[in-house]
Chains A and B, each alone.
Chain A
Amino acid sequence: MTLDGERLGRVLGTEDVTPTVFWFAVAPGASVGLDDLVVVRTLKPDGREVRFYGLVDNVRKRHEGVTFESDVEDVVAGVLPASVSYAARVLVTRVDPEHFIPPQPGDEVRHAHGSDLDMALSADKMKEAAFPAGLLADGQPLPLNFRFVNGESGGHINISGISGVATKTSYALFLLHSIFRSGVMDRVARAGGGHTAGTAGGKAIIFNVKGEDLLFLDQPNGKVQEREAEAQVAKGLDADRYTLLGLPMSPFRDTQFLAPPRPGASGNAIVPHTDQRAQGVTPFVFTLREFCERRMLPYVFSDAGASLNLSFVIGNIEEKLARLAAEGEGAALLVADWDPEGDGELPDGITFDALGKTRLETFDQLLSYVEYKLLEEGDGEGDPKWVLKQSPGTLRAFIRRLRGVQKHLSPLVRGDLSEAQARQYRPNLLGGAQLSVVDIHNLSGPAQMFVVGVLLREVFEHKEKYGRQNTVFVVLDELNKYAPRDEGSPIKDVLLEIAERGRSLGIILIGAQQTASEVERRIVSNAAIRVVGRLDLAEAERPEYRFLPQSFRARAGILQPGTMLVSQPDVPNPVLVSYPFPAWATRRDEVAEEVGQSVEEVGEDWLGL
């Protein structure tokens, strides 16, 4: 069998040739750059052939036959004959059959195309599970193995890179787009005998942590045509990148946008706290009863692990509140033992039900009640069943922390909702749209932690109950904030659960962070697919990035927005890909004018589809 790619050069004999790394001299007229995929065929003495597939990770040129550095002047002046030697280093990604002999110096090196490319990137092993993860340097799509994404062989994706230039969220969205629209979920579901639901059952939850970037994912991007046309010319591609990748150039379908309510909104109105987009965003709130019943209290404390005593108090109060909530119904909480007669400091606005029970309708009131039970009842002794012999110092610390977050959580946890309101504003992440964007960027730090923690635990518990047939992708940026390496927190516990057990339950974490070295090691190490955008060079030298060969770590410092290094278990070396400009708007001003929309889309908007 011969190789059909264009001939690039011959294996060098002046450098060591090994089965994993070798250099080749680039033939005159050929051009080889980093990330080009190549194939070498060598013959063993018995006549059997071995093929080496690899990718170029280093290229160099030098004047050959010239001894002195100052000779370059003579060469340029046309006095000294010298040829330019052009050589490239290849990291072998695959040897087929697996005979780890070195190639022979002088063997032809060819560009890997077609079936050779599939071999080089192990796409032949992926079969129906391959989906495009971006374009290689030469304009061919990089296949990614979905079985390493959906939890079958491995799961989770981790993306690292400096904010702004690494465009981690953009790449995560591109991957989601590719997963949902390339049909890979359906192919894998069919091949698996229908045990999983495919695209129809797939869900994605994105936590929007900065700006309102992600609130327009359902709108077409007015600039995408122009930008892709530019990129096509700049990179010399045959078609636009969406076409090359086999993906539609269209925004996300079947989306819902959730945002917390605007604090201090007049009256009973619950309006979403967003500035750029008002239509189509659903506010979400939790009822006070849910807060207690579903044991959300621990998520108020992001540093609960810091003190053993404090955790004990939290656990105890959580238990007490859950019991209180078990009785009664509605959004508010009724308590019988808060005696307003005996204590003159009852806050304003407290109402009582028919039986004389105190009705707690706001988060503030709940806190006052807890404070009363712990520190005030019985002349400052507290209710012994609540206090459980904890020292007043610890109790005060507990109350102080609760008071600290009171302002942040009050708009989110409310007891003054009607039954219908409670149902309407309950965040429904798994029953509703395929893609849910939870906008938390307007929330303060503690409230963000609370929302992420509570929602993720809910998803996790739901999946524990109903199993993995519907894959849920959770996109979360700033993992270093939610699961820091050194401290413990309830959210970190949930994320760890997801990282370690989520893949068997069909919860896939697409996590991103600026610096992987600051994220809990077990979360990063559980990701089967690792992606690196622009990195700080000092960060790139940390052990978390050992999966990148040295030359790639240096490269990570100069990556441009729109390019990523992707590492997957099937291919031993990371591969550089570029991915297209988003087809969905990422800002309000990118939203395409209606004239730019297709008739169908306009129609759908009209019909409210």
Chain B
Amino acid sequence: MPPMRIRLDPWPVDIEGGQLGLQHFEGDLIDIETPRWAAVAAKPIPGRLHTVHVVDGKRRMESRVFIEDESGEAGMGGFGAYVVGAVRMCPHGSRPAELTDVRARRLLAHAPGLRVDPYRLSPRDPHTGTLQYTPIVTESADPLAPLHKLQQVMLAEEQNLSHGLASQVPFSEEDDREALTSLTIQDGTLRSKNLGGAVVGCVKTMQTQYLPADRASLLSELRPGERTPILHMKYANSPYTRFIWYVRLCEAAFYQHPMSGVMRLEMYAPDEPDFLPPIVREVANVSGNLLCRLASRAHKDPRAPQNLIPTAALESAMTRAMGSADLVTRRLRAHIARELGVVA
């Protein structure tokens, strides 16, 4: 019997779930790239890939509300803000990275059957701008429905942004092969349906161990920049299929689990597990070099190296774009006070 061993999860305890969950995976996994299960070395980033976008989204519920409309109908709702945005950068470092499309939008999500007008909070001070809430109806009257609606809208926007920025992936062999010139890295797993762009999802945490035990040991052996071969994956209970592969971003420290520093990458895959688009293979080949460049350092980010440098910058820019939650709440309160004729 091997002796008992304890190693640390790399992420701080106050981050829910940790980096390594390792539940068992129920679904299909097919070798699509090669049947030979061994580390694949990273390839240099081709010169024609001139733009990489890192995309993320964020949302915030600012206030739950109770709405009574002019016809006397009443229901639940919520003031919410969301923002999606991207960092545009050159993978060869030939120009400064820049933030694009980081702009907060505000929603007044409300239960169905209410007549709600756009809600405009005019500034008390001429230099602080107005806040404009667009009404949007939720699917149900459930108290959590506004939050879900907000999340839904944000994810849809995020996906539109991701695919709009990336090269197209041809999904049949007859297509002219579009070159990989623009790639989007999207934070987190890929959701909803494929829109055809070269979008790669970066999953920071390993909640599920997709690989069988005999294959999982390769994850511990990968060296920084190396990846596993690409697999075709289909969830048991979900219609969406993915290509997945793992990349190691840095060496694990001796006190950490040997799988720490390993990240799962996803790309949309056609349902039929018989075709690997060349762009996907190309993305997988450059992913090691690209992500090692973008990996954060432990002393700067508690979720290093998986929380990428551009992502962290984007997150803080998005938080800033939504404005201070306290101030927004205060302005909502002051606005309502004025509407009700209460002297604040």
A residues apposed to B, CB below 8 Å: 13, 43, 65, 67-68, 70-71, 74-83, 104-107
Contacts and interface: CB of A to CB of B under 8 A. Distances in A.
Interface string B207-230: 000000000000000000000000
A107 B99 CA distance: 26
B294 A81 contact: no
A78 B313 contact: no
A71 B297 CA distance: 11
B141 interface: no
A81 B97 contact: yes
Q: Which 4 A-B pairs have the closest CB atoms?
A: A106-B127, A81-B97, A78-B93, A77-B93
Interface in B101-132: 125-128
Given A65-B316, A74-B309, A104-B127, A79 B300 contact: no
B90 interface: yes
A414 to B, nearest CB: 79
A106 B128 CA distance: 8
B127 A78 contact: no
Contacts of A81: 87, 89, 96-99, 310, 313-314, 317
Contacts of A80: 97, 309-310, 313
Contacts of B310: 79-81
Interface in B142-201: none
Contacts, number: 58
Contacts of A78: 89-90, 92-97
Contacts of B94: 78
Contacts of B333: none
A65 B317 contact: yes
Interface centre among B87, B97, B126, B320 (most CB of A within 10 A): B97
Determine the main DSSP class of A at the interface with B. Answer: loop
A71 B99 CA distance: 16
Contacts of B99: 81, 83
A290 B293 CA distance: 91
A130 B287 CA distance: 69
Given A67-B300, A106-B127, A82 B313 contact: yes
Contacts of B96: 75-76, 78, 81-82
Contacts of B98: 81
A78 B290 CA distance: 12
A428 B218 CA distance: 104
Contacts of B320: 65
A45 B284 CA distance: 61
Nearest to A81: B97
Contacts of A107: 127
19 contacts: A13-B127, A43-B126, A65-B313, A65-B316, A70-B300, A74-B309, A76-B96, A77-B293, A78-B93, A78-B95, A79-B294, A81-B96, A81-B98, A81-B310, A82-B97, A82-B313, A104-B125, A104-B126, A104-B127
Contacts of A75: 96-97
Interface in B53-93: 87, 89-90, 92-93
A79 B93 CA distance: 7
Contacts of A83: 99
A78 B294 CA distance: 10
A29 to B, nearest CB: 16
Given A80-B309, A82-B96, 9 more contacts: A43-B126, A65-B313, A68-B300, A75-B96, A76-B93, A78-B89, A78-B94, A83-B99, A107-B127
A68 B87 CA distance: 19
Nearest to B308: A79
Nearest to B300: A68
A79 B300 CA distance: 15
A70 B301 CA distance: 13
Contacts of A106: 126-128
Nearest to B91: A78
A394 to B, nearest CB: 79
Nearest to A11: B127
Contacts of A67: 300
B93 A105 contact: no
